[in-house]
């Protein structure tokens, strides 16, 4: 991700320890091990799996080391990286996003190996896109394999809850045969490996990253709404940290254990199989909250990419541009007003249109 160049700026910045002491973590359990209810996952501490990526003065760890906060201020964003590379795995965290005015902000939870394979990297993304005051966060998923950044595979979604008010679990499953993105225990996207994808399917060892950064140039309304540092620092909190997979050397790809056994155990896990009930939940989510899909963007891809499975009930909702035929209304806790004037309705529609911007940095789809 291009924004990691921000790390070079952090070396010249004076620590803000006195300021950061004003933001205190809630007291958490000090138990040696913890089990997360969703999927019955065993969680780890920060030190067991992570290290600072950049701007460590903007990273706050809880006293029990089981949660941390990433801060963005006018000087820098911040980020962490897993201390190991994984050859397939399940990566998860409960995340709470910044509140109030979040335009221009991107919070990312993703796997990548760009530090090792700069020209042919793999990547699996969950990116949260901030918004202007009173309008909801949106998020997108994406994947790259072998440096295939020119063939973006973006999907964008709304949420059915306010992610700044409570924690929700976000997860990425990556196996040799498929990729599944989860919100809590709801699968929101599945990509099954198709042989004709070839190198476009991520297959090299990756690390797990979490970052917050200033993406004012593209993230909100096509770059028209910038980060407003009047509201700094912006903080995103992560807990219930899960890193499950086969640890390997990224260059020699030699595992510390038997990856065949590890992968077999991974494929046998509850989260590796979408049950009938979860598939119903995924269908409901995609038909109600997805507002862009590259698979239905016939302008960008006249012939859908090989992994695309065209679901007619989804296809009927989208135009050839991959955008919805009808504007998606902002709902849930973000829009509590029952009586809406024409003026406010027009304003929301304008925001909804502008919120589907194009990112030249990320090779994103044209205004979604």
What integer pLDDT is reported at residue 328 of this predicted model? 66
Bond into 355 cis (ω within 30): no
The DSSP bridge partners found for residue 107 are: 128, 212
Active site residue 185: no
Report how far residue 242's alpha carbon sits from residue 245's, in angstroms, rounded to the nearest whole number.
10
- In the sheet with 178-183, reading across from the earlier edge strand, the strands are 59-61, 67-72, 234-248, 85-96, 168-174, 178-183, 186-192
Segments of the chain scoring below 70 in pLDDT: 1-38, 256, 328-368
What integer pLDDT is reported at residue 39 of this predicted model? 84
Residue 353 and residue 218 in contact, taking contact as beta carbons nearer than 8 Å: no
Q: Which segments of 269-341 does DSSP mark as H helices, in order? A: 276-289, 312-315
Integer angstrom CA distances of residue 88 from 140, 265, 313: 21, 11, 32
Please pick, among 84, 123, 155, 237, the residue that the annotation labels catalytic. Answer: 123
Please say whether the dihedral angle defined by the alpha carbons of residues 303, 305, 307 and 311, taken in this order, is positive or negative.
negative
Phi, psi of 107 (to 5 degrees): -110, 125
Residue 359, classified by CB atoms within 10 Å of its CB into exposed (0-12), middle (13-18) or buried (19+), is buried
| Residue 242: its H or E element | strand 234-248
What integer pLDDT is reported at residue 258 of this predicted model? 77
Please pick, among 127, 154, 237, 244, the residue that the annotation labels catalytic. Answer: 127
Number of helical (H) and strand (E) elements in the chain, helices listed first: 6, 18
Q: What dotted CATH number matches 46-271? A: 2.60.120.200
Half-sphere exposure of 326 (CA within 13 A, CB side): 8
pLDDT 10s digits, 148-200: 998 999 999 999 999 999 999 999 999 999 999 999 999 999 999 999 999 99
Residue 72 and residue 189 in contact, taking contact as beta carbons nearer than 8 Å: no
Active site residue 237: no
């Amino acid at each position: 991700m291009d924004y990691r160049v921000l790390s070079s700026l952090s070396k010249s910045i004076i620590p803000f320890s006195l300021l950061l002491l004003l933001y205190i973590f809630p007291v958490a359990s000090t138990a040696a091990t913890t089990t997360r209810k969703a999927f019955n996952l065993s969680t780890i501490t920060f030190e067991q799996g992570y290290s600072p990526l950049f701007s460590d003065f903007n990273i706050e760890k809880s006293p029990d080391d089981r949660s941390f906060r990433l801060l963005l201020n006018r000087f820098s964003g911040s980020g962490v990286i897993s201390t190991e590379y994984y050859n397939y795995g399940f990566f998860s965290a409960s995340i709470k996003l910044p509140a109030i005015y979040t335009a221009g902000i991107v919070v990312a939870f993703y796997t990548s190996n760009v530090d090792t394979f700069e020209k042919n990297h793999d990547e699996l993304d969950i990116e949260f896109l901030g918004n202007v005051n009173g309008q909801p966060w949106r998020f997108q998923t994406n994947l790259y394999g072998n440096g295939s950044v020119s063939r973006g595979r973006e999907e964008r979604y709304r949420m059915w809850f306010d992610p700044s008010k409570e924690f929700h679990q976000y997860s990425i499953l990556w196996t040799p045969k498929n990729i599944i993105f989860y919100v809590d225990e709801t699968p929101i996207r599945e990509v099954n490996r198709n042989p004709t994808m070839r190198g476009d399917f991520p297959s090299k060892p990756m690390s797990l990253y979490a970052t917050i950064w200033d993406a004012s140039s593209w993230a909100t309304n096509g770059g028209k709404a910038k980060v407003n540092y009047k509201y700094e620092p912006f903080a995103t909190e992560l807990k219930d940290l899960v890193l499950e997979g086969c640890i390997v050397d990224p260059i020699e790809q030699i595992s510390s254990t038997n990856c065949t056994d590890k992968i077999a155990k991974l494929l046998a896990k509850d989260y590796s199989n979408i049950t009938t009930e979860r598939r119903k939940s995924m269908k409901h989510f995609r038909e109600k909250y997805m507002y862009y899909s590259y698979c239905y963007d016939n302008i960008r891809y006249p012939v859908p990419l090989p992994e695309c499975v065209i679901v007619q009930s989804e296809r009927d909702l989208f135009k050839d541009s991959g955008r919805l035929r009808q504007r998606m209304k902002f709902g849930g806790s973000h829009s509590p007003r029952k009586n809406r004037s024409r003026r406010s309705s027009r304003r929301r529609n304008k925001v909804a249109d502008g919120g589907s911007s194009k990112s030249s940095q990320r090779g994103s789809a044209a205004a979604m």
